């Protein structure tokens, strides 16, 4: 029986990377006087690695090898990441990033039907809270039984650990749940935890490999605003609703 839905955050609930995280990283670099700048194109490459601190290390290792590293590089990165989180949550506070089509409707319907909800993301917990509060309202934090986020597990996506952690907290089998993801690292993680996964792509993840996904869509769709199917069979549906999720789950 379908008992729970587990959502990724970045790219899945909202398109947060290009106009959110990327902008906040650049603001943090500027604030401390670094000449680092992450363009939309460079950020596409940097998204190969999940986790903001991990991404900054990846940037230095592969795209800015000239940078003279201080001895306490990891402290510097941790400080930068705190500044970035401040900028990011401020951006969300201004209402800069809306939820993707169908997300609010599906969450509302799932709650009404008594489905359990959780989040599994590599982003920092404050960022999840800020996104939920600014889009679904303060009370929405409590709609999610488990918010698995950030450094709660050392191995971030594509490792399955964050989904395994969420499932263990909920005392649920993967077979009783569906996951929602937007990226290759995300689906590797959810599939690694044996979860059937629904993909909604975005500009950064269009060309990712989603082999094994239950279905790949451009978004969840709304009544009168149909999704496009990129892989899989929607059985005539035009937006993701609980009936469609039940079909996917039992297929």
Task: Name the residues annotated as catalytic.
Answer: 8, 10
What CA–CA distance (Å, rounded) separates 222 from 170? 29
Distance of alpha carbon 149 from alpha carbon 165, whole angstroms: 10
Comparing CA positions, the residue from 174, 210, 178, 216 lying closest to residue 193 is: 174
- For 6, list phi and psi in degrees, rounded to 5: -120, 120
**CA distances from residue 161 to 11, 137, 157, 192 in whole angstroms, order as listed:** 19, 29, 8, 8
CB nearer Mg ion, residue 15 or residue 164: 15
Residue in the shown chain whose Cβ atom is closest to ligand XBP: 52
Please select the residue that binds Mg ion; options are 2, 5, 6, 11, rule is CB under 5 A: 11
Check residue 17 for interaction with Mg ion (CB under 5 A). no
Does 219 help bind ligand XBP (rule: CB under 6 A)? Answer: no
Contacting residue, 26, 89, 140, 185, with ligand XBP by CB under 6 A: 185
What DSSP element (H or E) covers 148?
strand 146-148
C-alpha span between 118 and 131 (Å, rounded)? 15
Shorter beta-carbon distance to Mg ion: residue 100 or 116: 100
Q: Which of residues 143-182 bind Mg ion (CB under 5 A)?
A: 182
At residue 222, φ and ψ (nearest 5 deg) are -140, 160
Q: Give yes or no for residue 221 binding ligand XBP (CB under 6 A).
A: no
Residue 185 binds which one of ligand XBP, Mg ion, none, with CB within 5 to 8 A depending on kind?
ligand XBP
Closest CA to 98 of 139, 141, 135, 137: 135
Query: Could you say whether residue 200 binds ligand XBP (CB under 6 A)?
Result: no
Q: Is 8 in the site for Mg ion (CB under 5 A)?
A: yes
Give whichever of 26 and 185 is closer to Mg ion, judged by the CB atom.
185
Footprint of ligand XBP (CB under 6 A) = 8-11, 17, 21, 50-52, 55, 121-124, 127, 157, 183, 185-186
């Amino acid at each position: 029986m379908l008992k729970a839905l587990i959502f990724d955050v970045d790219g899945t609930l909202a398109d947060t990377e290009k106009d959110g995280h990327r902008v906040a990283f650049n603001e943090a670099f500027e604030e401390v006087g670094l000449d680092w700048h992450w363009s939309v194109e460079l950020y596409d490459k940097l998204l190969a690695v999940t986790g903001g601190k991990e991404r900054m290390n990846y940037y230095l290792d592969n795209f800015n090898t000239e940078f003279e590293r201080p001895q306490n590089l990891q402290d510097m990165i941790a400080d930068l990441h705190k500044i970035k989180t401040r900028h990011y949550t401020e951006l969300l506070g201004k209402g800069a990033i809306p939820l993707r089509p169908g997300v609010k409707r599906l969450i509302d319907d799932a709650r009404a039907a008594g489905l359990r909800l959780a989040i599994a993301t590599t982003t920092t917990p404050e960022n999840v809270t800020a996104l939920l509060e600014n889009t679904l309202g303060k009370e929405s934090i409590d709609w999610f039984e488990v918010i698995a986020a950030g450094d709660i597990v050392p191995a971030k996506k594509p490792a399955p650990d964050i989904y395994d952690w969420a499932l263990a907290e909920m005392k649920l089998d993967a077979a009783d749940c569906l996951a929602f993801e937007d990226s290759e690292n995300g689906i590797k993680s959810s599939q690694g935890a044996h979860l059937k996964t629904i993909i909604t792509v975005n500009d950064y993840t269009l060309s990712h490999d989603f082999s094994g996904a239950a279905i790949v869509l451009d978004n969840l769709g709304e009544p009168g605003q149909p999704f496009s199917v990129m892989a899989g069979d929607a059985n005539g549906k035009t937006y993701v609703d609980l009936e469609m999720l039940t079909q996917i789950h039992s297929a």
